[in-house]
Amino acid sequence: MKKKYNHRQLLVFSIVALIITSLAGINQAAAAEQPPPFGLKWGLSPVELEQLGIKLSARSDTEHGELHVLSNLPKVISGSQLVAGYFGYNEKLWRIAWQSTPWQNDPYGNGVQKRYLELKSILRKKYGAGSTQHHAGDSYFSKPKNFLYGILRGERWHYTNYQTSGIWVQLGIRASSSNDGYLILIYENNALKRNFKDGKEKKEEDAL
């Protein structure tokens, strides 16, 4: 027997549906209002970026898609070594990685840690507190003089993740040697990341 609802129940259902629809719209708007860094735009192809005057070089295939080193960017921050853009199987920009110039001959990591805190403060204002992961390692790697050596060996780590409805961001400290450290910033568009994973899965299905 078909259940009947009175006017009050129908009104409640209508209000709930309206709230859900409104929240979905707010989330979509919030995602759209979170642009990538350096004056770039999510979802553009390499050709479209070049049309904006951005230079692309050093193409390579990676686990995150087609990678290009980007230069002549609309906006930059001090201490930039390189910026890389990652494009999915539909040639849409979905991931951006930034690397700083290194702090050399600084095994304590004083310089890189100072800059880390500066950028962390800026990102906090944009994306909230984030999730900070600072692990010092065992008694040997936890010594201040072994800071970068611990980072290099993977025995200690120093990074903060930021997650919003639209993007995921990571700020972290890396080391190229026990004396030289640098910063990385990674931005990923959540919706385009899902598209990338779907495209990767489809490509592998077609290949098998």
Please state the rounded mean pLDDT for residues 109-119: 98
Q: Is residue 26 part of a domain?
A: no
Q: Is residue 86 part of a domain?
A: yes
Q: If pLDDT is split at 50, 70 and 90, which confidence band does 58 have? A: confident
Q: Which domain holds residue 137?
A: 46-207
Amino acid 167: pLDDT:
97
Give the count of alpha carbons within 13 A of 154, CB side only. Answer: 0
The count of domains in the chain is 1
What are the pLDDT digits (tens) for 156-206? 999 999 999 999 999 999 999 999 999 999 999 999 999 999 999 998 888
Tell me the two tokens of residue 49: 């970026």
pTM for this predicted structure? 0.83
Q: Is residue 59 part of a domain?
A: yes
Q: Is residue 56 part of a domain?
A: yes
| Cα–Cα–Cα angle for 161, 164, 168, rounded to 5 degrees | 45
Amino acid 20: pLDDT:
41
Q: Is residue 64 part of a domain?
A: yes
Distance (Å, rounded) from C-alpha 50 to C-alpha 58?
14
pLDDT at 3 over 60: no
Q: Look up the CATH number of the domain holding residue 186.
A: 3.40.1000
Q: Is residue 154 part of a domain?
A: yes
Q: Is residue 10 part of a domain?
A: no
Q: Is residue 18 part of a domain?
A: no
As a whole number, the mean pLDDT across the chain is 88
